[in-house]
Amino acid sequence: MVDIKVQLSAKVSGGPQASLNEDIKVEAYNKIEVAIQPGDTDKVVNVAQGDKGEISFLLITSNLYSSEEKLTYKVGDKEIQLDQPQIFLGTGAVSLLGENLNQIQFSNKHEKATEEGKPDPNKADIEILVGRDATP
């Protein structure tokens, strides 16, 4: 077993605060890094094999976020806006994404911003960390 240590703190200015310090025990993990170029539609990323119940931890981060639904991902037919880092702790939270977590499809609806051969600030560098049961 491997522990994924999760520490999260949230504080409202002039208000309450809450914190979380959890160890998520998993048998296996995968770290996936993929670039989603401007104009990419439904780019398939293989996340895990097997049943969705095997995944108990999922973290999706990017160097680029969008509140205008320009950066999205799909699990099955369910499209989700990637407007902030997204973390799913436990099989209950992961199940909110739907039945088939073997693949996630990413779309980047930003326009290409630079000339050929130069780095594009609208390229989304996505990181996915998956914790799962390897022997269901």
* Total-model pTM: 0.91
DSSP characters for the chain?
Answer: -EEEEEEEEEE-TTS-EEEEEEEEEESEEEEEEEEE-TT--SEEEE---S-GGGEEEEEEEES---SSS-EEEEETTEEEE-SS-EEEEHHHHHHTT-S--SEEEEEE-SPP-S-TTS--TT-EEEEEEEEE-S--
Please name each of the domains of the chain with its CATH number.
Answer: 2-13+26-114+122-132 (2.60.120.10)
Check residue 73 and give its pLDDT. 96
pLDDT in tens, 17-60: 999 999 999 999 999 999 999 999 999 999 987 665 689 999 99
Residue 12, pLDDT > 90, answer: yes
Residue 101, pLDDT > 60, answer: yes
Check residue 46 and give its pLDDT. 93
Check residue 52 and give its pLDDT. 56
Check residue 114 and give its pLDDT. 72
pLDDT in tens, 50-71: 665 689 999 999 999 988 899 9
Check residue 63 and give its pLDDT. 97
